[in-house]
A and B are shown apart, each in its own frame.
Chain A
Amino acid sequence: MADDYILQVKDLKKYFPIKGGMLSRVVGQVKAVDGVTFNLGRGQTMGLVGESGCGKTTTGRVILRLYKEKTAGDILFEGKEVYDLNAKQLRELRTQMQIIFQDPFSSLSPRLPVGEIIGEAVREHGLVSKEEYSDYVDKVMDDCGLMPYQKERYPHEFSGGQRQRICIARALALNPKFVVCDEPVSALDVSIQAQIINLLKELQEKRGLTYLFISHDLSVVEHISDMVGVMYLGNLVEYGKKEDIFDHPAHPYTKALFSAIPIPDPGSKMNRIVLEGSIPSPANPPSGCKFHTRCKNCMKKCKEEAPVQKEIAPGHYVVCHLYDS
């Protein structure tokens, strides 16, 4: 049922060139995203987790075509390849895909009043008529928990949580179908975090939004997501329903990652799998399975051959030689 998916990503790759030498020739490549495959159903939330530098954010940005080109793979948004669109079609698409950035302190222009920040794109795309414009902005602000009288204020007059609300209002003003949330709550305090997460969930129900929720905070991802994908060094190593991933993690990296989550229960004795060493450089990734340098189940095959994605249970995919048969 391919029609059910709002977004299909197949074997997506994005390499960044490393320039060096006198003529700044390309001397190498940083493999930021190196094989990501998933499907995202309409109205669902996909959580993307992983360590910093594993390519979560790049994945989000490539999908939105915020880079000029991708290296390989397909991104089908509502059945259409995002990178094949011409300028006019792309402009139309922009209203349907939006992004909420991580840092509410640097992603808002300090020189624009809030009403303008939220309404600029609405006017630019001509979504509503001139007469309705002001009311429309008021309504969006109201939906996101901002007071319409704050329209004339500037971002510095707001606290962190409110700024994040402005970012959300800016993204939702265009009435998108799909929103990439790039660590929307990482910079916020716990109690404000809860407000923003509740707001995101409420808006999803009201407007039928689809989220790609990028975060390194596993507990937040567990709370908000329907699907979860785990990334390691540019690869999506495991993906499936939230319940499958959290209750029956299959990939050794997922297991290690989940065992590292601190649980607020002083009595719990954790049998933690501590990963030795640090994440290898994406410019020079290890051969075979990229995780084999830190994996405790490493076999000979892992060093030589890169594993492919396998379905170990309905809707639960994993990239690991342990599940070859």
Chain B
Amino acid sequence: MAKKREDGYLSGREARRIQKENRRIINEFEKKRKRKNVPESEYLTTMHDPGNAVEFDDLHTFFFTDSGTVHSVDGVTFSVPIGKTVGVVGESGCGKSVTSLSLMQLVQRPQGQIVSGEIRLNLGNKAYEISKVPQEKMQTIRGNVVSMIFQEPMTSLNPVFRIGDQVDEVIALHDGEGKSKEEIKQRTIEALEMVGIANSEGVYRMYPHELSGGMRQRVMIAMSLACNPKVIIADEPTTALDVTIQAQILDLLRNLKDRINSSIMLITHDLGVIAEMADYVVVMYAGRVVEQGTAEDIFYHPAHPYTMGLMASKPVVGKHVEQLYSIPGKVPNPVNMPDYCYFRDRCEMCVKECSGAYPHMISLSDTHKVSCYRFLEEHRKDAENPEKMPSAVREMMEAMKRLHEDNDSVKAEEGEV
């Protein structure tokens, strides 16, 4: 079976060794987690910048599976400033959801564990290190401080309970101390009204199947905003919805964010949604951040070949190209990550350093960082020269520029009117 070895074939002995090793590691983590009466001092920390709501610092979240360790999140560092929206983009399986689940401590246990790194959460007067917070304390944070809007409004609501009961439960659990049932119901109806459900009394008594997809997503948003969280994680909130409904939901999210002054971590693979919503953008590939910056940095001056490829492969209305660019090859096997740049095998713009160790983050400006050897001092000139790029990418950049200029001229005309 020499051929199969490359496909991830494991001998029985090898598999047993991995299982045993995994059990040992997992038990260690679980023991730490199950301790009772952990003093607060153990997970108290200070924010590096008090203007941030969340700071991810070199986060590693691994899954210890029977066929090897999957490095789902492999050294992710970025922060979410208070009152801002941070967009996280990447293909499925690149670790964007796992990053957000780590913040909620909802990673599938026991095989999934936060191995190292810190997640600092700003609670206003103090800050917590999420990976060390014990379970019972975490329950007061989830929903109250950090809450999540899930991807599938069709499957995230319980079909056998009324909408009202489901939202009531959230409020009762997180913020219900000393409140009567009537008061909680009042809060629920307010929350439903806040997300633009006109017939809130009626919807309170309905079952999920009586609502359309857009309405269900509104209920999900109402549920996650019921306790005025400081950080909202929106995991592909509009992927399952139509464009017109998507527009409604995005407007709603933007307005609500301003009203309760919270931060949004928006996870999506739709660059259009990101451009519209996000102040900062983080591009992830195979468990690592490859590029981060403000929305303007990323969309007008994309630096990493993966970001460029992603943009060139998406058809955009008004951007006419003959053929869409498609990134060659595929994502490396998550169990056996190469020790050089993960994108090297798919990259058309390699330089000689690319065969070396994984590239560090290089700052291009105060906000814009990229992890690519093309931006070392000696290659910088080539990297910024469009002549050296693949033709499809160059075409895309020009199309984007045209689109941007068109929009600018439209704006200028409106200004004159």
Which residue numbers of A lie inside 8 Å of B, CB to CB?
51-52, 159, 189-195, 197-198, 201, 216, 218-220, 222-223, 246, 256-270, 272, 274-275, 278-279
Contact = CB atoms under 8 A, between A and B. Distances in A.
Contacts of A257: 243-244
B242 A52 contact: yes
Contact of A278 (B212, B247, B314): B212
B323 A267 contact: no
Given A201-B323, A223-B324, A264-B274, A278 B310 contact: no
Contact of B91 (A191, A268, A274): A191
Contacts of B244: 51, 256-257, 260, 274-275
A267 B405 CA distance: 10
Contacts of B326: 191-192, 194-195, 198
Given A222-B315, A223-B324, A267-B407, A262 B273 contact: yes
B213 A52 contact: yes
A193 B313 contact: yes
Interface string B255-279: 0000000000000011111111010
Nearest to B323: A198
B325 to A, nearest CB: 6
Nearest to A193: B313
B242 A190 contact: no
B314 A262 contact: no
Contacts of B248: 274-275
B322 to A, nearest CB: 9
B270 to A, nearest CB: 7
8 nearest A-B pairs in the assembled complex, by CB-CB distance: A262-B272, A194-B313, A223-B315, A266-B295, A260-B247, A268-B407, A194-B324, A194-B326
Contact of B272 (A197, A201, A263, A275): A263
A264 B247 contact: no
B47 interface: no
Nearest to A51: B242
A261 B404 CA distance: 15
B85 to A, nearest CB: 11
Contacts of B271: 190, 264
Pick the most buried of A192, A218, A262, A278: most chain B CB atoms within 10 A of its CB. Answer: A262
A260 B318 contact: no
B317 interface: yes
B215 A264 contact: no
Given A190-B269, A191-B326, A263 B403 contact: yes
Contacts of A261: 243, 272, 317
Contacts of B243: 51, 216, 218, 257, 260-261
19 contacts: A52-B242, A190-B310, A190-B314, A194-B327, A198-B324, A198-B326, A218-B243, A223-B324, A257-B244, A260-B246, A263-B317, A263-B318, A263-B403, A264-B272, A264-B314, A265-B275, A265-B407, A272-B251, A278-B214
B275 A262 contact: yes
Nearest to A263: B272
Contacts of B408: 267
B314 A219 contact: yes
B400 interface: yes
B309 interface: yes
A246 B310 CA distance: 24
A313 B231 CA distance: 51
A223 B321 CA distance: 8
Contact of B299 (A259, A262, A266, A269): A266
Nearest to B312: A194
A265 B404 contact: yes
B33 interface: no
B165 interface: no
A109 B299 CA distance: 42
Given A194-B314, A220-B315, A266-B299, A189 B269 contact: yes
Pick the most buried of B92, B296, B316: most chain A CB atoms within 10 A of its CB. Answer: B316
Contacts of A275: 244, 248
Given A191-B310, A265-B275, A246 B324 contact: no
A175 B411 CA distance: 50
Contacts of A262: 246-247, 250, 270, 272-273, 275-276
A291 to B, nearest CB: 12
A275 B196 CA distance: 13
B311 interface: yes
A265 B400 contact: yes
B299 A264 contact: yes
Contacts of B404: 265, 267-268
Given A198-B324, A198-B326, A191 B309 contact: yes
